[in-house]
Amino acid sequence: MKNFSAAENILDRAGAEKRSSLSEPEVYEFLALAGLETPCYALYPAAALAPAAAAQDACARLPGEKLVLKLVSSRTLHKTEAGGVKVLAKTVPAVQEALESMAVKFPDAEAFMAVEFLQHSPFALGEELLLGARSDDAFGPVLTLGPGGTHAEALTRALRPGLSPSVIPVELAAGREEWAGFLKSSWVWRYCAGEVRGAHRLAEDVKIYKWLEGFAQIMRHFRDGGPSHWAIEEFEVNPLAVAKGRLTALDGVLRFRPARSGGPRRRPSHKGVDSLLHTRSAAVVGVSEKKMNMARIILKNMLKAGFPKERTYIIKEGAAEIDGVRCFASPAELPEKVDMYVVAVPSREVPHVLAAAGESGKVNGVVLISGGMGEKAGSEDMGRNVVHTLLRGREKNPDFALSGGNSMGIVLNDVKLNTFFIPEYKLEHPLGVNPYNARTAFVSQSGAFVISAISKMPWLKPAYCITVGNQQDVTVPDYVERLADEDGLKVILVYMEGFKPGDGLALARVIARARAKGKQVILYKAGRTAVGQKAVMGHTASIAGDYLVTRLIMEHAGALVAETFDDFNDLAALACSFADFEIKHGNTFFISNAGFEAAGMADGVTARLTAHMGEGVAAKMHTTLREFSLDSLVDAKNPLDITPMAPDAAIGGVVRTALASDEFSGALVSMIPLTVMMNTLPKGGDWPDDLEKSFLKDAEAAARAARKPLIFCVACGSRFEPYCAYAQALGLPVFRSADRAAKMYGVYLDYVLGKAA
């Protein structure tokens, strides 16, 4: 924008009139100051309206054979629906008659506008756009580009996933390269650019660049913490007409408010966060000598995990030791500065405990298990007290940091530390290393989400398992930022509820950095509905944020966003199993011993997930089928229904042939385990089965040698849980329905390979 002071004057005038929005003529004036194109127009105040003279003036001043007559009224939000917009032949009688009738219909009108008519088709995709910007606490100013016109909202709701409006935070758009990537993600701009079949280019990219950059400049200036005393809450041009190579605003809305001072939160130091990720010494507060309270369970879990007892301490007056661990009356008496200080005391004691830790200078990272400090109605003062206490502690130790409150704890496999307060007889803790999985971190606001996932997926042994709670200091993005730079880490699992100010933008940036380093990020964002947002705000005392905006931004940054909890678990299983592999393409071999499953897998073939098979591979598979007298029952094809008559040896032979071929990047094997021909039950029962004689071990070895994904499915009941567990112990991701396995693998391939054009 060339003249910010003139734009400021427009907002000042409106603000002086106690308005929080601009009229359409004022929006045009605002756009013109930014060098953005508006139609020719003439304005006629209602108080002094002379319809005949106004009609003569409009017909003389405006070009073309038609014009548009518009109502100007702060009381009428939807002018078209109210009858406040008329397209007329540009003749004095027609315009005069329309002005007279509109003046009667809208007696409270402030003014009427005669506007140049731009010839275009409002029903042709790409000829009307919606360009919007809004202020967002989590992401800063955000820009949106989508289909425009009177049907914009209905059209957007009707679109299938992948055809939503494109969204980008202004702060992530530094230049033409970022804008080009943004346009590439915009399906509606492809119509403008003539990149769809049967379409022709309506406007050059440089035209939309001018609008995007103009909006970005405006939003950077008029924002909270910016140079202006006004902040734009919402700025929208709809429609932005694309006609004769021009992009012209045909209507606009601008809502504003006084700018708020301050900026993003004060973030903890890198060393403070690192203390919680790479802990060498730890202390626990709240341990009872007489009963198994929460802190005592944490202590037991730490010792059982193998964390060095000599570098483990208890803060407790009047005791020498508990469970063989030395006690100290206060943190000031500790023999060394501790990296992790686990606090599990009643909420009323938390401020005093934190104050003592901060004043001691001997504590870096605090894991606050205690809840009821900011996330619960009526506890806001307690939450603010915790933050103030923390900041005072930083005056003595700049690396003083707090994770929580309301945290489930942290598990660090590298240093054998487990501070979960769940007893082991209730949950198999995520301790140890799964040799078949990529190195993984799990960062979650919700501790219950983590333990629920681990209970369902006991094979999951993340190097880092971090529950963040209500993010009173260290937040999810703070952890992900440190993990994004760790060499060897391949997968980051993230569960997010609410953001602290600026943290949406921070998370997008660190996800982009992690993805650039070859890491895969699987994200679940809670709070997608108004009710859901209210729920997570109550739980986390954070900004819930708009789900669609969050999803689009995170996907653009490089996250694979799961739509459901089950999706998250399945995508986590695929990522942890295959992130170390280089998947070169999506052509996959599908095999089942049931026709319905073969059909279900075939129905899942779409986009990157394909099912081609050449004659050479088919001939090799036919040899195996003939060896087991199956060639008279089935042909070698993909998907292959090998029939219930196939034994393990035949299935294994066919799968190994597929995995050995460059035609296939992997295989999905789904076997109904009820057939007598297969070994699908553990040895030792009143049956001849022996899982060690199953085809699974050799097939998994072949897949690992070829570094190709092998996905297994068991579509039967609980009797076959040992079969599933056996496959998981071999490192295979296991599904319970073939169609879901195909669907989720297709989603994963789209993420790894990029969505097909």
Residue-wise DSSP of 467-508: E-TT-SSS-HHHHHHHHHT-TT--EEEEEE--B-TTHHHHHH
Same domain, 185 and 327: no
Residue 290's contacts (CB-CB under 8 Å, 6 or more residues apart) are: none
498 with 398, same domain: the answer is yes
Position 546 confidence tier, pLDDT thresholds 50, 70, 90: confident
Give yes or no: residues 434 and 314 share one domain. yes
pLDDT at position 533 over 80: no
742 domain-assigned: yes
Looking at residue 606, what DSSP letter applies?
Answer: B
Q: Are 476 and 528 in contact (CB under 8 A)?
A: no
Say if 27 falls within a structural domain.
no
pTM over 0.85: yes
Reported as a single tens digit per residue, the pLDDT across 481-531 is 999 999 999 999 999 998 999 999 999 999 999 999 999 999 999 976 554
Instruction: Identify the pLDDT of residue 668.
Output: 98
> Does 511 lie in the same domain as 486?
yes
Q: Answer whether residue 602 is part of any domain.
A: yes
Do residues 99 and 135 share a domain? no
Using CA atoms, how far residue 299 sits from 288, 505, 693, in Å, is: 10, 37, 43
Band of pLDDT at residue 161, cut at 50, 70 and 90:
low
Percent above pLDDT 70 for the chain: 94
Q: Which of 61-65, 80-84, 271-275, 375-379 has the lowest mean pLDDT?
A: 375-379
Identify whether residues 714 and 740 lie together within a single domain.
yes
Q: Choose between 299 and 375: higher pLDDT.
A: 299
SS3 306: coil
Alpha-helical runs (H) found in 541-614? 547-557, 565-578, 595-603
Residue 437 backbone phi and psi in degrees, to 5:
-105, 150
Q: Which of 89, 117, 145 is the last residue of a domain?
A: 117
Asked, for residue 30, whether it belongs to a domain, the answer is: no
Decide which of 233, 258, 283 is a domain's last residue: 258
544 pLDDT more than 70: no
> The domain that contains 656 carries what CATH number?
3.40.50.261
In-domain check, residue 564: yes
Distance CA 434, CA 729 (A): 9
pLDDT digits (tens, 9 = 90+) for 570-624: 999 999 999 999 999 999 999 999 999 999 999 989 889 999 999 999 999 999 9
Q: In what order do the strands lie in the sheet with 321-322?
A: 321-322, 325-328, 312-315, 282-285, 338-343, 363-368, 401-404
Helix (H) or strand (E) holding 525: strand 520-525
Q: Flag whether 496 is in a domain.
A: yes
Reduce the DSSP state of residue 532 to 3 states and report it: helix
Residue 174: the pLDDT is 81
- Asked if residue 383 lies in contact with residue 370, where contact means CB atoms within 8 angstroms, the answer is no
Residue 123 in any domain: the answer is no
The answer as to whether 15 is a domain residue is no
Judged against a pLDDT cut of 80, whether residue 1 lies above it is answered with no
Q: Are residues 734 and 604 in the same domain?
A: yes
Residue for token pair 């200078």: 361
Q: Which range of residues forms the domain containing residue 706?
A: 588-753
Neighbours of 674 (CB within 10 A): 15
Q: The CATH number of the domain where 251 resides is what? A: 3.30.470.20
Amino acid making up residue 530: A
Number of domains into which the chain is organized: 4
